[in-house]
């Protein structure tokens, strides 16, 4: 699977580590930046991944900034995106199982590299449970439909 991945300067080191990890488990990271530790504005990178996921160009995405909070806020402004900040294993599992999160967000200054790899693995491998959770997603989609009419 191709997985979009992007970060700001606070997530650069973790992004580089996760690109290698994704390849090792059979996935192709699509690196959308940033490409150094130089200070950048996280919205510029969150938007790139979120739009590609929203359009279906990428099935999933991973975003990393210092805490993960900024990237989460930006990505969730894009229609069809369900970006979840998951800095622990429990959240990684349930953001997929219950809300079918299509973008994983990590805090590069919060999560260590090994824990981040475990989080990514669980997030990729956990299927959406459907059932009562599908009904809830439909309510989110209805809200998006209402709010995105221009």
CATH of the domain at 64: 3.40.1400.10
Q: What average pLDDT does range 34-58 have in this prediction?
A: 98
Q: In this model, does residue 71 exceed pLDDT 80?
A: yes
- Number of domains forming the structure of the chain: 1
pTM of the complete model: 0.94
Active site residues: 65, 98
pLDDT digits (tens, 9 = 90+) for 7-37: 999 999 999 999 999 999 999 999 999 999 9
Q: How is residue 131 annotated by DSSP?
A: T
CA-to-CA distance for 82 and 104, rounded, in angstroms?
9
What are phi and psi for residue 134, nearest 5 degrees?
Answer: -65, -40
- Give the pLDDT score at 149: 59
């Amino acid at each position: 699977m191709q997985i979009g991945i992007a970060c700001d300067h606070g997530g650069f080191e973790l992004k580089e580590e996760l690109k290698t990890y994704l390849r090792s488990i059979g996935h192709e990271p699509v690196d959308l930046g940033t490409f150094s530790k130089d200070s950048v504005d996280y919205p510029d990178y969150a938007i790139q991944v979120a739009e590609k996921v929203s359009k279906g160009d990428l099935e999933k995405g991973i975003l990393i900034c210092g805490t993960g909070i900024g990237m989460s806020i930006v990505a969730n402004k894009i229609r069809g995106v369900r970006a979840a900040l998951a800095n622990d294993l429990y959240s990684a599992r349930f953001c997929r199982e219950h809300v079918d999160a299509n973008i994983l967000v990590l805090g590069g200054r919060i999560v260590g590299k090994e824990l981040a790899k475990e989080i990514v693995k669980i997030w990729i491998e956990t299927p959406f449970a459907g059932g009562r959770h599908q009904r809830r997603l439909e309510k989110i989609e209805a809200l998006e439909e209402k709010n995105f009419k221009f």
